[in-house]
Amino acid sequence: MRAKGLRITRERRLLADVLEDATEHLDAETVFRLARRRSPRIHRSTIYRTLNTFKDLDLIDELDLMHVDGNRHYYEIRPPVFHIHLVCTSCGEVQEPEERSWKEWRARIMKETGFSLGTARLEVGGLCADCRRRARRP
């Protein structure tokens, strides 16, 4: 961060903390609400600017989770390994199963297409076990 002439401010530290502490995926508005609890003067535009900065630095990933909740974007600290977002289109639950075969898959796709692969985002819509049960007996 310092390498690029960017400054480490109170707000950036704060937002990094909010994202670190999150136990689920947060949209910009939620990040704002959580940040405001710790520092009431923080402004929405700072949230958007900072999220964009973090994204440009590849520190976070931007998701949309199958648009289950409209067009909101969700953010998470860039995970060390590729992973999958399994979104229940009924209740909105998100699971993240492990993807064991990602490495081989990646190699094959690179060979087939000539692309060098960076960020990947796999979002799958479906019904979680609970919602399937509920659907059977309404």
Segment near DNA (CB under 7 A); pick from 17-25, 70-78, 94-102, 108-116: 70-78
DSSP character at residue 115? P
CA 25 from chain centre, in angstroms, equals 6
Tell me if 76 contacts a second copy by CB under 8 A. no
For the record, the structure tokens of 64 come out as 């949309």
Neighbours of 74 (CB within 10 A): 22
Stretch that binds DNA, among 6-14, 83-91, 97-105, 118-126 (CB under 7 A): 6-14
Task: For residue 17, give the nearest of 35, 4, 1, 42 by alpha carbon.
Answer: 35
Segment contacting a second copy (CB under 8 A): 5-13, 22-30, 32-40, 62-70? 62-70
- Asked if 102 touches a second copy (CB under 8 A), the answer is no
What is the enclosing helix (H) or strand (E) of 61? strand 60-63
Instruction: Using CB under 7 A, list all residues that contact DNA.
Output: 2, 5-12, 27-29, 39, 41-46, 48-50, 52-53, 70-73
